Amino acid sequence: MKLFSNLISAIEITNKTSAKIEALVNYFKIAPDKDKLWLIALFTGKRPSRPVKTTLMREWCMEITNLPEWLFLESYSTVGDLGETMALLLPEPSHKLDLSLHEWMTELKTLKSKSDKEKKAFVLEAWSGLDQQECLIFNKLIGGSFRIGVSKKTLVNALAKLTNIDANQLMHSIIGNWEVDTISFEELIHGSHINYDNSKPYPFCLAYALEKELYELGESNDWIIEQKWDGIRGQIVKRNNEIYIWSRGEELVTKQFTELVEAVNNFKDDFVIDGEILAMKDNDVLLFNDLQKRLNRKNVTKKLLEEVPIGFYAYDILEYNGDDIRELPFEDRRKRLESIFGSIALPEHVQLSFLVEFNKWEELHSIRNNSRAINSEGLMLKQKKSPYHTGRKKGDWWKWKVDPLTIDAVMIYAQKGSGRRSSKYTDYTFAVKKDDALVTVAKAYSGLTDKEITEISQWVNKNAIEKFGPVRTVKPELVFEIAFEGIALSNRHKSGVALRFPRISRWRKDKPADEIDTIETVKQLITAP
């Protein structure tokens, strides 16, 4: 545990991805293979289910420390994390437990079936044998809340640096079906449980936000214009009668979108196609809010398949019958794509993306402004001669999104941040009017300067009304302009609406709280073009 604890400490004290990768590489170099496997499992969401209820752990901690519940809750409110609160309150260890990560995880897996009495004995023995940092890690592991600031991509990049194995192959390997107890570390990283040659994707070509006037791009007939759809980018790989779907986040999502697999089966040729995965019904693109219902589902029910059918708009082709054609000009790749799609009758939900017809740059302004009417985010501008780049390259592909929607709302809750911002209130909940009351519409934590965050934190300390753990209810006085990309009706929210990517646009010090938007005016934005 000490080795794993040191790794977590090294990761948490830095925001630099390079430093996190270096810490991971150093860990992989010296940790036992079973510990390496458990690290990968924990960082990719393969942790076992929680064996002990956190309410019981809280009771045991108060019993050991002789703290009244009000003082424990006050401590929890200040710290903001239950596992960390208990680690800080528990007494110094009376002895030393020196188990490895995989030994602890094995114990936790067997603990689930035991009685509460046995669980208590196990937890108290662990608490009395671990130092404060190790105790914090233990609490997070046993409480099922093990979250750390390392993405799958960062983990994969560390493994790639360690092994010199292709990062995409490693991604496929670690997110595939495997169990810690039935595979070795070497077998996992070399993909003995997968067939990577058939599934290998390419790095996505990405666009920069348009930062110049259209006429500065040159002749308009040198460009191809498409809608920028609000789904998730995906590559459909078809090789040797096998089909795989990769997300832009380098995750294998084939099992989530079975209707796309069935449709692509109709093609006779092999290829790798780049496009957009969308929620589509009756040939219309639905909102991203609908698509979210299908994302990250281990099992897609028949009801969900009917309620949120999935479609795909093909943008580009990167490989054809085994040949990498990314260096061909975009206009030539587009013709190849049109030929493939024109050779077979396809269902409505799998289509070639349609091109925007225009003659002069000026015509694109009205087309872009009408994007929300078809649930599009704006326009994509692609140079006809451009190859399919790896990542971003300025000049060839531009995204020209519509301006965000905005509302004026009042802050009603504030919560302290974590890490370096744990002493300040950085997470806020906003509300609008509903009749004579307020109803929450969004949470946001970005868009303010450090100076504004400090000022707001000082105000919260003086104007907090109630405490709920780390959350403070505040007087509804501070008004903010909230910007967001889209809005949809939602049964999951009390307000009846869900905002897409809400963030703080500006602090409206010029506006009193009685002039904020109403829920009626907010809902009017749903149909606004």
pLDDT digits (tens, 9 = 90+) for 29-84: 999 999 999 999 888 877 777 888 889 999 999 999 999 998 998 888 777 778 88
Domain ranges of the chain: 2-143, 205-401, 405-526
Of 136, 133, 138, 135, the C-alpha closest to 107 is 138
Rounded to 5 degrees, φ, ψ at 411 are: -75, 130
427-431 average pLDDT score: 94
pLDDT of residue 436: 87
- What mean pLDDT value characterizes the chain? 89
Token digits for 177? 């079906």
Of 280, 245, 240, 284, the C-alpha closest to 261 is 245
Range from 39-53, 235-249, 361-375, 423-437 carrying the lowest mean pLDDT = 39-53
Per-residue pLDDT tens for 432-474? 999 889 999 999 988 899 899 999 999 999 999 988 767 899 9
Per-residue pLDDT tens for 334-355? 999 999 998 888 788 899 999 9
18-25 average pLDDT score: 92
pLDDT of residue 144: 63
pLDDT of residue 198: 83
The answer to whether the beta carbons of residues 474 and 413 sit under 8 Å apart is yes
Q: Is 45 exposed, middle or buried (0-12, 13-18, 19+ CB in 10 A)?
A: exposed
Rounded to 5 degrees, φ, ψ at 309 are: -70, 150
Nearest-angstrom CA–CA distance, 365 and 66: 68
Nearest-angstrom CA–CA distance, 387 and 392: 12
485-507 average pLDDT score: 87
For 212-277, where are the alpha helices, taking DSSP H only?
258-264
391-415 average pLDDT score: 92
How big is the chain, counted in residues? 529
Amino acid symbol at 155: L
Question: Would you identify the CATH topology of the domain 2-143?
Answer: DNA ligase i, domain 1 (1.10.3260)
- Decide if pLDDT at 356 tops 90: yes
Q: In angstroms, how far is the first alpha carbon of the chain from the final one?
A: 56
**48 or 495, greater pLDDT:** 495
Nearest-angstrom CA–CA distance, 407 and 391: 34
Q: Enter the pTM of the model.
A: 0.65
Residues ≥6 apart with Cβ < 8 Å to 117? none
Range from 114-118, 494-498, 516-520 carrying the lowest mean pLDDT = 494-498
For 243-329, where are the alpha helices, taking DSSP H only?
258-264, 288-291, 302-307
pLDDT of residue 109: 87
Confidence of residue 529 (pLDDT cuts 50, 70, 90): very low
Question: Would you identify the CATH topology of the domain 405-526?
Answer: OB fold (Dihydrolipoamide Acetyltransferase, E2P) (2.40.50)
Range from 22-31, 248-257, 394-403 carrying the lowest mean pLDDT = 248-257
pLDDT of residue 418: 64
The answer to whether the beta carbons of residues 513 and 479 sit under 8 Å apart is yes
* C-alpha torsion angle, residues 409, 410, 413, 415 (rounded to 10): 70
Residue 485 CB neighbours (<10 A): 19
CATH (one of 3.40.50.880, 1.10.540.10, 3.40.190.10, 3.30.470.30) for 205-401: 3.30.470.30
pLDDT of residue 49: 79
Highest mean pLDDT among 190-194, 303-307, 351-355: 351-355
Token pair 């779907």 in the structure block, residue: 245
Residues ≥6 apart with Cβ < 8 Å to 180? 34, 37, 38, 41, 46, 102, 105
Query: CA separation (Å) from 466 to 77, 143, 412, 415, 440?
Result: 11, 27, 11, 12, 17
Bridge partners of residue 475, in order along the sequence: none
Residues recognised as catalytic: 228
3-state secondary structure of 86: helix
pLDDT of residue 419: 56
Amino acid symbol at 82: L
Per-residue pLDDT tens for 117-170? 999 999 999 999 999 989 988 988 887 666 677 778 888 899 999 999 988 778
